[in-house]
């Protein structure tokens, strides 16, 4: 089966009461979805969990067993509600303590800024035993990795910088290519023909997303596949279906 | 223990490959978080799952057992990738078929618009046996409820309209009040004092959210509680802590 594409999967865990209370809108999920896809890693699930250790542990242990990679965001700052390091330690059954390499980074940083490296800030140097660090070019306090779980900050700018620091480590599979074709036809008009095309191309995933723009209804059909040739053929069939229904295909960025 | 506040909880399941692929940014989570809070329901967890029946079933069955309410968004349109009704039926062990009340709604709607009520559009009238409908004032095809699981559309305007249609049914608990106080102090400076205040007020949840605005670092401290008196007292202590550290509290909308 050498022509089978290699699929590498991931899950994201967003740790944060502020997202669940509606106070803060998450920005990390869409960033990670897009950027993982670019390195050949397919995001299969995301969970948003509260700042509760048992909930974080349960999510980490469920997802790290089911997916190739898990990425967490949030809860690695200096305050009492930052409990991610302890939760990851508990999930893996590892002790959590000050990581010498992380301590050195914080010492150098606070010597430079002049702020006091107090007990609270030292919390940001705690990791499970044996964790490797993820560089934080924005605000220095590092993230860390234990096995296939990458622990990153929740602040979007820091999360993004950490992801760029670590992404060279990821062993991606074959990338998923996609084509998006919009048309001013109702979903219900397209649906039967599209279903037949989905049956014809089981290795191309077809999604239909209705829209209402400029006073007109329409649908965007997104086809995704790890096989570029099949994707091209499926897209041609989708355009033909639209024309047969008197709709003009509108190419768009997928 | 008659002074114990009543807590009512919820989880959200966002069904959609388009969110996980990064193509579409979810807008429903923050809407539901805010609006559930307003009716006294606390959102405790959210999952974003793929358009895969087994994944949807697993999420529904896990979350409906753990929380008072579950809200799903997405996957109730006319196309082949709309598998939410079948997945909810499978989760509850209920057969799924055309719901006479939903069929009547669609017949009236398409008689009005003149579009054909074909087999694909009839899919939107399928519900698990015994489901009650959720009105859709935007595009008519209804959502539905089975026990404590509310099934809504993914399109934000439709999801929001459905939520407003159903929210009178929700039996909320005591609302969570919140106060947000920002200050131009680093989180690491506030952390020790804030931790002591969290210990002093176990019935007030305190979160710290760092920010960088107008060239200055700071933190927003958000205190949340179902007990207004305790919240007021905690907020006063938080302001005093900030002033003791030479920071000026800035009141903000929580």
- Specify the 3-state DSSP secondary structure of B118: coil
**Measuring CA to CA, how many Å separate B121 from each of A188, A238, B77, B102, B103?**
5, 19, 8, 11, 10
Output the pLDDT for position B185.
95
Q: Which two tokens stand for residue A44?
A: 């299969």
CA A119, A121, A124, A130 torsion: positive or negative?
negative
Domain ranges of chain A: 8-169, 178-252
Per-residue pLDDT, A253: 56
Q: For residues B31 and B27, what is the distance between their CA atoms, to the nearest angstrom?
A: 7
- Could you read off the pLDDT of A77-115 as tens digits, one per residue? 999 999 999 999 999 999 999 999 999 999 999 999 888
Q: Which pLDDT band holds residue A216 (cuts at 50, 70, 90)? A: confident
How close, in Å, is residue B130 to chain A by CA atoms? 25
Mean pLDDT of A204-220: 88
* A41, closest residue in chain B (CA to CA): B21
Query: Chain A: nearest CA to B42, how far in angstroms?
Result: 7
Secondary structure of chain A as H, E, C letters:
CCCCCCCEEEEEEEECHHHHCCCCCCCHHHHHHHHHHHCCEEEEEEEEECCCHHHHHHHHHHHHHHCCEEEEECCCCCCCCCCHHHHHHHHHCCCEEECHHHHHHHHHHHHHHCCCCCHHHHHHHEEECCCEEECCCCCCCCEEEECCEEEECCCHHHHHHHHHHHHHHCCCCCCCEEEEEEECCCHHHHHHHHHHHHHHCCCCEEEEEEEEECCEEEEEEEEEECCHHHHHHHHHHHHHHHHHCCCCCEEECC
pLDDT at B63: 98
- Asked if A188 lies within 8 A of B115 by C-beta distance, the reply is yes
Choose between B206 and A23: higher pLDDT: B206
The 10s digit of each residue's pLDDT in A43-79 is: 999 999 999 999 999 999 999 999 999 999 999 999 9
User: Is the pLDDT at A213 greater than 90, yes or no?
Assistant: no
CA distance A93 to chain B (A): 24
- Distances in Å between the Cα of A221 and the Cα atoms of A127, B25, B119 are 45, 17, 19
Test B190 with A79 for CB contact under 8 angstroms: yes
Question: If DSSP codes are grouped into helix, strand and coil, which group holds residue B39?
Answer: coil
Alpha helices by DSSP H, listed for B67-155, are: 84-92, 100-113, 119-122
- d(C-alpha B196, C-alpha B201), whole Å: 9
Q: Are B118 and B125 in contact (CB under 8 A)?
A: no
Residue A119 has its nearest CB partner, among B31, B37, B192, at B192
Residues A17 and A56 sit within 8 Å (Cβ to Cβ): no
pLDDT at B253: 56
Please answer yes or no on whether B222 and A43 come within 8 Å at the CB atom.
Answer: no
Q: What is the pLDDT of residues B10-65, one digit of tens each?
A: 999 999 999 999 989 999 999 999 999 999 999 999 999 999 999 999 999 999 99
Model confidence at A1, in pLDDT bands (50, 70, 90)? Answer: very low
Nearest to A220 by CA among A237, A204, A206: A206
- Which of the residue ranges A112-126, A203-217, B160-174 would you say has the lowest mean pLDDT? A203-217
Please report where in the chains the tokens 């740790």 appear, as a residue: A15
- Give the torsion sign (CA, A87, A90, A92, A95): positive
**B179-200 confidence digits (pLDDT tens):** 999 999 999 999 999 999 999 9
Mean pLDDT of all residues in A28-39: 95
Q: What is the pLDDT of residue A196?
A: 97
CA distance B136 to chain A (A): 16
Size of interface A-B (CB pairs under 8 A): 184
Q: Per the CB < 8 Å rule, is A21 touching B44?
A: no
How confident is the model over B104-153, as pLDDT tens digits?
Answer: 999 999 999 888 999 999 999 999 999 999 999 999 999 999 999 999 99
Q: Is the pLDDT of residue B2 over 60?
A: no
CA distance to A65, A160, A193, A199, A232, per residue, from A204 (Å): 27, 30, 15, 9, 10
Residues of B in contact with A115 (CB under 8 A): 186, 188-189
pLDDT at A215: 78
- Please, what is the average pLDDT of chain B? 94
Q: In this predicted model, what pLDDT tens digit does every residue of A189-205 receive, in sequence order?
A: 999 999 999 999 999 99
Give Cα B222 to chain centroid, integer Å.
Answer: 19
Q: Which of A12, A23, A107, A110 to mutate to test the interface with B (most CBs of B within 10 A)?
A: A23
The pair phi, psi for residue B71, each rounded to 5°, is -120, 125
B39 close contact with A: CB closer than 8 A: no
Does any CB of chain B come closer than 8 Å to the CB of residue A39? no
Residues in chain B closer than 8 A to A37 (CB atoms): 21-22
User: From the CA of B47, how many Å to the nearest CA of chain A?
Assistant: 4
pLDDT tier for residue B254 given thresholds of 50, 70 and 90:
very low
Q: Are the beta carbons of B30 and A37 separated by less than 8 Å?
A: no
**Is the CATH number of domain A8-169 3.30.360.10?**
no
pLDDT at position B216 = 83
The pLDDT value recorded for residue B41 is: 97
pLDDT of A145 > 50? The answer is yes
Decide if domain B178-252 falls under CATH 3.30.70.600: yes
- Go through chain A and tell me how many residues it has: 254
Of all residues in chain B, the one with the smallest CA distance to A48 is B46
Find which of A16-30, A207-221, A236-250 is predicted with most confidence, using mean pLDDT. Answer: A236-250
Q: Which A-chain residues 113-152 have CB contacts (< 8 A) with chain B?
A: 115-116, 118-121, 123-124
What pLDDT is recorded for position A254?
A: 46
Q: Which residues make beta-bridge pairs with A221?
A: A181, A208
Calculate the average pLDDT of chain A: 94
Residue B1's pLDDT band (cuts 50, 70, 90): very low
Condensed to tens digits (0 to 9), the pLDDT of residues A153-185 reads 999 999 999 999 999 999 999 989 999 999 999
């Amino acid at each position: 089966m050498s022509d089978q594409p290699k699929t590498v999967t991931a899950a994201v865990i967003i740790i944060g009461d502020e997202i669940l209370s509606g106070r803060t809108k998450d920005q990390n999920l869409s960033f990670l979805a897009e950027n993982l896809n670019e390195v050949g890693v397919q995001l299969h699930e995301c969970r948003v969990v509260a700042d509760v250790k048992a909930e974080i542990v349960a999510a980490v242990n469920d997802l790290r067993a089911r997916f190739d990679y898990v990425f967490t965001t949030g809860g690695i700052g200096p305050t009492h509600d930052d409990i991610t390091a302890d939760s990851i330690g508990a999930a893996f059954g590892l002790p959590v303590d000050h990581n010498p390499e992380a301590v050195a980074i914080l010492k150098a940083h606070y010597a430079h800024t002049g702020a006091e490296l107090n007990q609270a800030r030292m919390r940001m140097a705690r990791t499970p035993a044996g964790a490797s660090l993820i560089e934080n070019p924005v605000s220095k306090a590092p993230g860390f990795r234990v096995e296939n779980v990458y622990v990153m900050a929740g602040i979007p700018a820091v999360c993004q910088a950490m992801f760029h620091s670590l992404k060279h480590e990821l062993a991606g599979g074959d990338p998923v290519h996609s084509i998006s074709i919009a048309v001013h036809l109702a979903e219900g008009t397209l649906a039967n023909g599209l279903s037949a095309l989905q049956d014809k191309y089981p290795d191309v995933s077809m999604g239909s997303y209705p829209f209402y723009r400029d006073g007109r209804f329409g649908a965007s059909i997104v086809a995704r596949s790890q096989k570029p040739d099949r994707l091209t053929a499926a897209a041609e069939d989708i355009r033909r279906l639209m024309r047969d229904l008197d709709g003009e295909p509108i190419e768009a960025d997928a």
